[in-house]
Amino acid sequence: MTLKERLRVFVVCIGLEVGVLSGVAVRPEEIRDLMHQMNQPKIAHVLPAADDEGGGKASNDPAAEGD
């Protein structure tokens, strides 16, 4: 586990602890969902480069047919 991941978990746990000490009611299902979301892999959306196949225009683009 990297330092960034450990700090993220620490901050979430501190936030939950502050909620407990201040009397905020948090259902166990909400905590479980939060911890599950933190463990999900992140998906990065990468834009295609301009020199990739297609030249940046979609093949079904009506504006591309007039070229």
Judge whether 8 and 16 are in contact, CB under 8 Å: no
| List of residues 6+ apart from 16 with CB closer than 8 A | 26, 31
Element at 30 (helix H, strand E): helix 28-39
Q: How far is CA 18 from CA 1, 28, 31, in A?
A: 24, 16, 14
3-state helix, strand, coil in the chain (%, to 5): 55, 0, 45
- Give the per-residue pLDDT at 10: 92
pLDDT at 7 over 60: yes
pTM for this prediction: 0.43
Q: Mean pLDDT throughout 24-46?
A: 82
Pick the more confident residue, 50 or 30.
30
